[in-house]
Structure 1
């Protein structure tokens, strides 16, 4: 259960409705999910977060499917069930298969395991990696 009252479209003021309209237009959807409804208790937070998400998730050097899969991976690591489910749905809509999701989760699991081993053993960074990962 949310810790704030979700702001439904019909109860929203003009500033929130403008953001909701942009979300629906950008996503080609006819509804607003609960994440945005929760943020709408603070219209400035809603607008700022939506503008950031819209910018970061737009096509760029990474394609939208890759961005959604990264979002799923980070959400899994952070334990955010809401984000895992919403971004898995978005990734599936962009073409992610069950095999792709399984591979992402395998990479997430391996990265978390090896990260913990490095932390536990306090492994010093190799000089070759300290220069931005270049090994030429």
Structure 2
């Protein structure tokens, strides 16, 4: 259960700053769906705007990483941070951007391997190799 109210569209209509962000989310994503993360953040309109602008500046701009790769990285980081909500929402986004079952399987294998080797390196307190330093 959420720890904050999830603002409805009617609630958002009554708060111009929230309505503006919700309208931008809809326009950017080219659909009418506002997911619960944004509805929860809407309790603080300034934070809602800040986080949405930040997300847009990373996830929706042209760059050297394609949109699917960005979503897959988001899934990996969300897994590392144990964020079920983000894992589900970004897996759905990745699938909508063309992620196949085979790609998802490989992603999960990489996530699992990285988690295992990260924990082993931490447990053994292995020092970094000087060859890995930026020169």
TM-score class, shorter-chain normalisation, is: over 0.9
Match of 2:21 in 1: 19
Structure 2 alignment gaps of length 5 or more: none
Aligned with residue 80 of structure 1, among 80, 83, 88: 83
Distance 1:88 1:31 in 2: 16
Aligned length, in residue pairs: 132
1:94 aligns with 2:88: no
Match of 1:7 in 2: 7
Distance 1:130 1:118 in 2: 17
TM-score in terms of structure 1 length: 0.93
TM-score in terms of structure 2 length: 0.94
Match of 1:127 in 2: 130
Aligned with residue 48 of structure 2, among 46, 49, 55: 46
- Of residues 113-122 and 87-96 in structure 1, the stretch that sits farther from structure 2 once superposed is 113-122
- Of residues 111-120 and 18-27 in structure 1, the stretch that sits farther from structure 2 once superposed is 111-120
Deviation at 1:80, TM superposition (A): 1.0
Distance 1:22 1:131 in 2: 40
Structure 1 alignment gaps of length 5 or more: none
1:68 aligns with 2:110: no
